[in-house]
A and B are shown apart, each in its own frame.
Chain A
């Protein structure tokens, strides 16, 4: 049973999601909030496996909620509910701790599948985001970003490289002779490393500003 919590301010969208989740036998809706304040209190309580979070909440940014959730250290999978999956939003969310995203216009069954998928350990990625990630974390191009504290494995790097060239997960699996799910897992791991790195960066920034120690 996958316990799902939803933070979404658009009532129509929220209804669709919640109804669909409720209708699933393997899922249960544990909480439904429509603003940041309530969402934050919900996170304090916990009690869910997957958090669906919209970014544009009326009283703040969903990014902060994601960060709050990630900071609890629970084994929660966070999915961003977004309209276009444009790279800035997704990357910000990933750095804050998100592991995937749902597109608002996606068919609801795809959304439910994405929730299941993330729970199985797979994350989605678009070629443009893959490309951007490659650009930011590849050691030889590190001038644009900070090299990861935990570098990508060779396989993760290969996956990212293929995805950036527009290959689908299954294309990629075929090329690398692995399963599609494994591709998703690699992506999820890449996301995790990114999040850890961003936390390390924040820590470094804080300590260099003298807030810690």
Chain B
């Protein structure tokens, strides 16, 4: 790999490893001093007891490093095992084939009986395994294959025919265009190794593959969701984080490098930073952190710098311990992780929402774990087969936690939506009811306006049609000296039409003007009948309810009353007037038509049709009609009308 084996980190991690190994060595050395004794001819190895026989783990061997693939015979150097040669350790450049051959000896008697196997994890690149000079395994079909086997366990069965009964030689030849090396090596009964191998295979390959693929699917799904819901930017971040994490994890479980090695390395290397940033961005957008846009932009900008450094476009001052790109990537990742963990920790205490706590916990637990793993493991690239990395599950766990949290939020939103729909529906129905009411009012208004204009139209019709015909008929009747009765009928018809026309005049409830007009119209008739008229009006308020229909009732009552005086009373004087008058405590106007004529005995006229009509009209006006007459004392008809009508008074008692 391009990034330098980070001696600084190595010293820390390897230091730990060395302490551990020394401890183990001492332990096993004490237990198996026999093996130590025969160490002259066999490689140093730890012995791991097993039910089906001892399994030994190689801890020392002889090695040759060289350029190219074909190994030279000489130059073996003893070293501890596992032995990994990272890219550039020996000044090599990626792109040229390099090899490492390791040679190990074991005593057939030191391992258990039965079919033997060799189990290796972390042996780099393409490799072959030979026993006693016979090649028994190779992990590649063609030399040019780009095998990626640093994390992959292999179990190689050793045919009995290849084995000697005493000391056996095992040669592992690893070659690659990047790191080479021979990882953890276990030799023992095949059945014992099977268990180890299967467990390793599951945790190193099967589980990471499944988890990463699941994460990839989630990421792609969220991408689709985001395309449908562009404003939900969290979806995009979640998607990017998942996809990048898959890219980063690919090197764990993939047996082969599917693309150009340099590109592959760049992707796996850089994606670890960008995946962290994308996950952080998701989290910050999810909790609506202030200045999130600025923070995420800064992180992404830093990522771009790292990318440029990685491709050598920018060359910052280098560091004696590691390559610049690695230094900045790890430093950047560390800053991001510290930031996000701090925010998450703070949010954990501040926010008690379930999904927020869940995600906060996820961030607080996962982020440092994954990053510490990332930083240490990617740095060390020890990959000697001892370690099973939890980090590979960090991304999928993260994605899962985020998905669940997001799901909870979406579910909650749905619930809220349902509730707000309910609220909306309630207010909608309220508004609808109001609308209906106002529409009904409007309709009523329209109807009343239509009625008014229709009435006016009808009047115009009467005016032009009936009216002019009546007038012509009257003129003709008069000209041709028709009997007076027929002329009177025509006059009465015309008079009634006039009343109707007058009732339509807008007088704004001015009863005096209305009656005055009637008197004005009848002035000629009065003069003809020889009745003088005294007009006795007092100042009265207007009647708010006096519309055309009511005005017509008022006019007809008075027309009838005046007509009676003129036709039947033999009076020579009549008084028409109006005055404010309270009836049963209700304020109103009293109008009257009084004459000094013959008068009647009440019984004679009580049931008269004219009077009944007048009473009916007074009733429909919500008023009262009073009739007073005595023979020889004249007649008085009065009409009392309230200022405010009963039903209106009930609505507003203030009036």
Contact = CB atoms under 8 A, between A and B. Distances in A.
Interface in A105-144: 105-107, 110, 126-128, 130-131
Contacts of A171: 535
Contacts of B513: 127-128, 130-131, 164-166
Nearest to A86: B501
Given A83-B467, A84-B498, A165-B512, A13 B520 contact: no
B615 interface: no
A165 B537 contact: yes
Contacts of A2: none
A115 B535 CA distance: 27
Interface residues of B, number: 35
Contacts of B348: none
A12 B469 CA distance: 10
Interface in B487-531: 491, 494, 497-498, 501-502, 504-505, 507, 510, 512-517, 519-521, 523-524
A83 B468 contact: yes
Query: Which of B472, B517, B537 has the most C-beta atoms of chain A within 10 angstroms of its own C-beta?
Result: B517
A124 to B, nearest CB: 9
Contacts of B387: none
Q: How large is the interface on A (under 10, 10 to 19, 20 to 34, 35 or more residues)?
A: 20 to 34
A143 B4 CA distance: 96
A84 B474 contact: no
A30 interface: no
A164 B539 CA distance: 12
Contacts of B502: 84, 86, 128
Chain B contact surface mostly? helix
A164 B533 CA distance: 17
Contacts of B463: 83-84, 86
Contacts, number: 81
Nearest to B479: A16
B458 interface: no
B505 A13 contact: no
Nearest to B508: A135
B524 A167 contact: no
B475 interface: yes
B476 interface: yes
B468 A164 contact: no
Contact of A128 (B494, B505, B537): B505
Contact of A12 (B476, B512, B533): B476
B505 A87 contact: yes
B464 interface: yes
Nearest to B472: A12
A68 interface: no
Given A86-B505, A167-B516, A105 B472 contact: no
A128 to B, nearest CB: 5
Interface string A1-39: 000000000101100100000000000000000000000
B542 to A, nearest CB: 11
B519 A166 contact: yes
Interface string A157-193: 0000000111110010000000000000000000000
B624 interface: no
A166 B520 contact: yes
B517 A13 contact: no
A47 to B, nearest CB: 28
Contacts of A87: 505
A168 B501 contact: no
B471 interface: yes
Contacts of A56: 464
A76 to B, nearest CB: 26
Contact of A126 (B515, B517, B533): B517
B446 to A, nearest CB: 23
Given A167-B535, A168-B523, A127 B516 contact: yes
Contacts of B471: 10, 13, 83, 104-105
A16 B498 CA distance: 21
A10 B523 CA distance: 26
A128 B270 CA distance: 98
Nearest to B498: A84
Nearest to A125: B520
A13 B476 CA distance: 9
Query: Which of B474, B502, B510, B513 has the most C-beta atoms of chain A within 10 angstroms of its own C-beta?
Result: B513
A16 B507 contact: no
Contacts of A104: 468, 471
B491 to A, nearest CB: 8
A164 B524 contact: no
Contacts of A166: 512-513, 515-517, 519-520, 535, 537
Interface string B13-31: 0000000000000000000
15 contacts: A10-B472, A16-B475, A83-B463, A105-B471, A105-B491, A110-B524, A128-B505, A128-B516, A131-B513, A165-B512, A165-B513, A165-B516, A166-B535, A166-B537, A168-B523
The 6 closest A-B CB pairs, nearest first, are A166-B516, A127-B516, A131-B513, A84-B501, A104-B471, A128-B517
Given A83-B463, A131-B507, 9 more contacts: A16-B479, A84-B498, A105-B491, A105-B494, A126-B521, A127-B517, A165-B512, A166-B512, A166-B535
Interface of A: 10, 12-13, 16, 56, 83-84, 86-87, 104-107, 110, 126-128, 130-131, 164-168, 171
